[in-house]
Amino acid sequence: MQSSFPIQLSAAQDLRTLRQTFTGQIFLAVTATAFVAICAHISVPLYFTPVPVTLQTMAVILVGLVLGPALGACAMVLYLAEGVMGLPVFSPQYPGGIAHLLGPTAGYLISYPIAAAAAGLVMKSVRSDRFQFLAATLAGLAANVFIFALGAAWIAFLSHSSASVAWHLGVVPFLPGEILKIAAAASAYTTFRKWQRS
């Protein structure tokens, strides 16, 4: 079946085919930014921290897993550029545009290209299909190290608070949810890989 986009897309299309062309890479990157933007709008504010709960981190991990380190990181740079230009891709809890990259969630946002690259690199190092879920879980954990480190560091800088305060505002409240999001991303990726091989 022919798509309106100048790429033949079928149910059994392998991502490697899209990655081989510049047009295909653009398509994958733009699709990834749209996915992260949708997940960013699934947002719940918390009264005890300036950082809302969103599905963004799950989306970033999944982008890194599926697209790999280089294309995943590029997609997240494009995502940030879209937000800076004023497109409604960030969480609706704060003003959009470049102001969002100066607010309390800026550290998390800036970490996304690094986090996607980290997730992609971990998956790239695992060749066996038998350990895909475990590898994807470890990749999600690696991505979260960067997300939480930069997120908490920015909160500490912005609020002139200690590392302990930043830890309790920017990391601790989100740990249970991140475990679930990592598991969800790993499950989605493993399912995708099985579908791709079928």
Percentage of residues in the chain with pLDDT exceeding 90? 69
* Domain 15-197, CATH: 1.10.1760.20
Hey, what's the torsion of the CAs at 49, 51, 52, 55, to 10 degrees? -140
Q: 24 to each of 9, 15, 27, how far by Cα in Å?
A: 10, 9, 5
From CA 59, how far away is CA 184, in angstroms rounded?
10
Structure tokens at 96: 């959009």
Which pLDDT does position 198 carry in this prediction? 64
Instruction: Dump strand ranges (E) for the chain.
Output: 43-44, 53-54
Q: What is the pLDDT of residues 34-62, one digit of tens each?
A: 999 999 999 999 988 889 999 999 999 99
Of residues 91, 145, 100, the one with CA closest to residue 118:
145
Count the neighbouring beta carbons within 10 Å of the beta carbon of residue 159: 14
Give the DSSP per-residue string, 90-103: S-TTS--GGGGGGS
From CA 45, how far away is CA 30, in angstroms rounded?
27
Which pLDDT does position 1 carry in this prediction? 43
Contact 33, 78 (CB under 8 A): yes
Percentage of residues in the chain with pLDDT exceeding 70? 90
Q: What is the pTM of this model?
A: 0.89
Q: What is the pLDDT of residues 90-131, one digit of tens each?
A: 988 777 788 888 899 999 999 999 999 999 999 988 876 778
Which pLDDT does position 11 carry in this prediction? 37
Which pLDDT does position 194 carry in this prediction? 81
Give the DSSP per-residue string, 52-93: PEESHHHHHHHHHHHH-HHHHHHHHHHHHHHHHTT-S-S-TT
From CA 175, how far away is CA 93, in angstroms rounded?
20
From CA 133, how far away is CA 20, in angstroms rounded?
26
Which pLDDT does position 13 carry in this prediction? 56
Q: How confident is the model at residue 2 (pLDDT cuts 50, 70, 90)?
A: very low
Q: What is the pLDDT of residues 171-187, one digit of tens each?
A: 999 999 999 999 999 99
**Model confidence at 7: pLDDT above 50:** no
